[in-house]
Structure 1
Amino acid sequence: MRLRTVCAGLAAGLAAVTSLTAAGPAAAHPPGNRHACSPYVLLDRFSDALDKTTYDGTYTGNLSALAVDRDGSLAALGDRSSLFRLDARTLRPEGVVRLADEKGADLDSEGLVVDRDGSRLVSSETEPSVRRYSPGGEILDRLPVPSALRVAPAGRATANQTFEGLTLLPGGRTLLASMEYALAGDSAGTVRFQTWQRHRGRFTPAAQYAYRTDPGLGVPEVQATPDGRLLVLERGFTAGVGNTVRLYLADLRHATDTAGVEHLTGGSAVRPVKKTLLADIAACPSLGATARQPQPNPLLDNIEGMTITGRDATGRLKVLLVSDDNQNPAQTTRFYRLRVRA
């Protein structure tokens, strides 16, 4: 999305430090590792190879989501209706498909899942919606969305702050979409995770969960881990300061199903999704990265997409992130290769 300006204040920083400290020293990386972002995350390398480039006449920026395709290539979704196929090793574009809604109009496409049959589930934050597309870009299906999650006046969501993340949980029966910011009437910083259950090939709305972000931050992406937990990106932007991007591990177990809770407020008897900080990306080594605008770390940009590409020899998850440059000269399309001990 075109990220609105937010302020992640002192309280956010203190909360992050407290969360990381509480996680304890187990599984820590060796001290002094120059690639360490935290005891749990290593930055292998980054790449700006696609920054301000085109492929087959299509701008290759605005990237908002990533997924591993069935043939091992990468699917990279632009939020202006372009779906690219990338070589998983070189990130070189190898194909592009234009997506559209039922009337042929562009999408504000934000979340991406490659389903087991090769079809693409794509979320748009305009309505919001989740549509299923063929590999060639033909609409096959559209999932029902609870009315409260729709953009006002149809629902209680704010335009450009709805379905940002999309992931399929292990087993392929549960689809999850993350709202980026809170609904009207919910407490600030309390976002809803909506799920659908697959039955006879169709997804129908199911449980919903409350997730509390750090102050001033939203949720641009979620990704299911092999054991059914979630990697969650939290992100914000402060003009003149730059981006805040944090990676959390979240666990849906024991969280309250909030599908029937109209307003999530301080007085709600709701148990939110448990989360543990894995890394503040500002603490990663810059590895020579440069930034075109002020940043706490020149490595940072508008990070918005994430996928798990496998495991390394020690069992750590190999995680790929990408930033959305918004086709803006001051921002960069940048890929980040992480290894995460979850």
Structure 2
Amino acid sequence: MLGVRRTRSYAGAAALLAAASLAVPVAADAHPGHAHGHPSGHASAAPATCPPSAAALGYSDALDKRVVDGVEIGGLSDIAYDARTHRYVSSVDNHADDPSRLWFYRDLADPTPVGDPLVLTQPDGTPYTGRTADFEGLAVLPSGDFVVSDEVEPAIRIFSRDGRERTTLPVPPRFAVTPAGEATDNATLEGLTLADHGREIVASMEGTLSGDTGDGTFRRILVYTKAGHGYRLSRQIGYRVEPGMRIPEIQEYAPHRFLVMEASWSAEVGNEIRLYAIDTRHTVDVSRITDLADAPETVVPKRLVSDVTSCPDLGASAKETQLNPLMDNYEGMIATPARRGAFDVTLVSDDNFGATQTTRFLRLAARLP
């Protein structure tokens, strides 16, 4: 087992946040500035804070380059909970000619594989591979089916419990990759979550559409609503990232409230991660707005929850240049209620099956508005 840190329990999350006197900012801003902090050493009497409203609980590298029955685990870019088996599940985004798989495990603090991985196949039973799919977001429907966002077309696919594709959801033509549409290759539907007790599927664009001009910070979030035996596209939400950031994940944590991960990478500083909370109860449907730069007031307000890059390093090490060695290519996220109003938020990093990146689970406690 590699680099496991079990620093605190769920109960400790609330105590940690209370000790840190963390509070959600009282003012919301549609385009707030950056937060700053400084890393520290291993857990001590001082709270391991990740400003402004989160704290570090621990991390685990237990799945990094792990091999199960001759298959290496890697490329994990999402986390979902499977209530039927009481297990967590992550998809492999893409890896050459390998079949696309879902891996299952029980403990976010010490993720150990459970059972065999599930291979995802086309309707005719042909396995998807890294050449034919790029699965980035994952959720488990109340029916038990798996819904996965695919960056290739892009597409949102629904798979049965045996891994066979049942259907795909319609994606507006302008979301297709250029020249067919306005999206950039490898920057389409990356984030995915369920909302309203599974009655909605919410998917976020990693990058901007060329039709949304301005400074390149506008993004769109697609909302699909349950209709009969399927889902229909019901609205779009406008969102704005910080300059230079992208959206790798979105997760509902309470009714109409979502946690959005923003991320960036550069060779000079490595990975930077920030978490923002949004409330969609009073958002404008931007489906008919051709260019969000012409209507910036329609963008959903957001609040900074954590500048994760400013967390203490918890004694972690990095294989490539990082401002904080705890950082890596975090792309997946899950948020679950803890105690006394705190939430346990776990991030997973996609190692891209590369020698200089790590499959790492990072656990945070956060107060969410």
Q: Match for residue 27 of structure 1?
A: none
SS at match of 2:56: strand
Q: Match for residue 305 of structure 1?
A: 332
Spell out the pairing of 1:319-334 with structure 2 (5 A cutoff).
319-334=345-360
Partner amino acid, structure 1, of 2:153: E
2:191 pairs with 1:191:
no
SS at match of 1:148: helix
Distance in 1 between the 2:202 and 2:53 partners?
A: 25
Distance in 2 between the 1:269 and 1:237 partners?
A: 26
Q: Match for residue 176 of structure 1?
A: 202
Q: Match for residue 96 of structure 1?
A: 117
Deviations 1:51-88 (A, max 9, x none): 11122332211100100111321011110222101122
Q: Match for residue 64 of structure 1?
A: 77
Q: Match for residue 15 of structure 2?
A: none
Match of 1:241 among 269, 293, 296: 269
Spell out the pairing of 1:40-51 with structure 2 (5 A cutoff).
40-51=53-64
Partner amino acid, structure 1, of 2:203: A
Distance in 2 between the 1:217 and 1:50 partners?
A: 27
Task: Identify if the C-alpha distance between structure 1 residues 297 and 104 changes in structure 2 by more than 3 Å, giving closer, same or farther.
Answer: same
CA RMSD between the two structures: 1.9
> Percent same amino acid at aligned positions?
38
2:341 pairs with 1:315:
yes
Distance in 2 between the 1:184 and 1:147 partners?
A: 13
Q: Structure 2 unaligned segments of length 5 or more: list them.
A: 1-30, 38-44, 95-99
2:105 pairs with 1:86:
yes
Q: Match for residue 263 of structure 1?
A: 291
Shift of 1:320: 1.2
Q: Match for residue 4 of structure 1?
A: none
SS at match of 1:278: strand
Q: Structure 1 unaligned segments of length 5 or more: list them.
A: 1-12, 21-31
Shift of 1:200: 0.9
Distance in 2 between the 1:269 and 1:311 partners?
A: 32
Distance in 2 between the 1:208 and 1:263 partners?
A: 13
Q: Match for residue 41 of structure 2?
A: none
Deviations 1:163-201 (A, max 9, x none): 000011123211110000100121301010011111112
Match of 1:200 among 228, 235, 252: 228
Deviations 1:105-159 (A, max 9, x none): 4220000010001110001001000111112211111111111111122211111
Shift of 1:227: 2.9
Q: Please say if residues 32 and 304 of structure 2, whose CA atoms lie closer than 8 Å, have aligned partners that are also in contact.
A: no
TM-score with structure 2 setting the length: 0.82
Distance in 2 between the 1:137 and 1:150 partners?
A: 25
Shift of 1:330: 0.7
Distance in 2 between the 1:173 and 1:218 partners?
A: 27
Across the two proteins, how many residue pairs are aligned to each other? Answer: 316
SS at match of 1:282: helix
Superposition misfits of 4+ residues, deviation over 3 angstroms: 100-105
Partner amino acid, structure 1, of 2:54: V
SS at match of 1:130: strand
Q: Match for residue 292 of structure 1?
A: 319
Q: Please say if residues 322 and 334 of structure 1, whose CA atoms lie closer than 8 Å, have aligned partners that are also in contact.
A: yes
Q: Please say if residues 219 and 234 of structure 1, whose CA atoms lie closer than 8 Å, have aligned partners that are also in contact.
A: yes
SS at match of 1:313: coil
TM-score with structure 1 setting the length: 0.88
2:301 pairs with 1:274:
yes
Partner amino acid, structure 2, of 1:278: V
Task: Identify if the C-alpha distance between structure 1 residues 321 and 100 changes in structure 2 by more than 3 Å, giving closer, same or farther.
Answer: same
Q: After alignment, is 327-336 or 150-159 more displaced?
A: 150-159
